[in-house]
Structure 1
Amino acid sequence: MIRFSLDKIMKDRGLEQKDIVSITGINRNTVKALASNANARIDFPTLNTLCRTLGVLPGELIEYLPEDDEESR
């Protein structure tokens, strides 16, 4: 399973969804969906904006969990 790690980054930095919306300009519904892993995809411009603004690499936002790990969660 592929998982988006925006929620972890937000927690580590003490940020809320409204903060991400404010500093990135990304739509509130998109941020909410990404933070809760409710999206099935992410557009490259959105990924680029998050990486540039948060100072992270794409691999820090996207996490791969093997199917075995998914069952244990």
Structure 2
Amino acid sequence: MPILVNLDVMLARRKMRSKELAAIVGITEANLSLLKSGKVKGIRFDTLDAICRALGCQPGDLLEYVRDDDPRIAQGADVP
């Protein structure tokens, strides 16, 4: 999939744990983990809004479009 989810990067920058973010956003840690790994087919705008509010970021800080031939896709990487 040509969309990378950089949620781990933002969590590290904000020095926040997944468990804390999940509680703030109101989703399960399991669902947040699936989102972080890029194993979801979509995200609700209200969930994206809550994540951005909690992390003080923009949606573009969390989601990145990359070409299919990008080496990060070939390696199965989640983040840049």
State whether residues 22 and 28 of structure 2, in contact with CA within 8 Å, keep that contact through their aligned partners in structure 1.
Answer: yes
- Displacement after TM superposition at 1:2 (Å): 0.6
Contact 2:21 2:54 (8 Å CA) reproduced: no
> Deviation of residue 51 (structure 1)?
0.9
**Is the counterpart of residue 50 in structure 1 residue 51 in structure 2?**
yes
Summarize deviations over 1:3-61 as a string: whole Å, max 9, x none: 11111111222322112112222222221111121212111110011111211111111
8 Å CA contact 2:7–2:36 kept in 1: the answer is yes
State how many pairs are aligned: 73
Q: Which residue of 2 aligns with 1:14?
A: 15
Q: 1:1-73 to 2 correspondence within 5 Å?
A: 1-69=2-70, 70-71=73-74
Gap regions ≥5 residues in structure 2: none
Unaligned runs of 5+ residues in structure 1 are none
Q: State whether residues 25 and 47 of structure 2, in contact with CA within 8 Å, keep that contact through their aligned partners in structure 1.
A: no
Query: Bigger shift: 12-21 or 40-49?
Result: 12-21
1:65 is displaced (CA, Å) by 1.1
Which has the higher mean CA deviation after the structures are superposed, 63-72 or 45-54? Answer: 63-72
Q: In percent, how many aligned pairs have the same letter?
A: 34
In the TM superposition, structure 1's runs of 4+ consecutive aligned residues that sit over 4 Å from their partners are none
Aligned residues: CA RMSD: 1.6
Give, as a single letter, the amino acid of the residue that structure 1 aligns with 2:24.
I
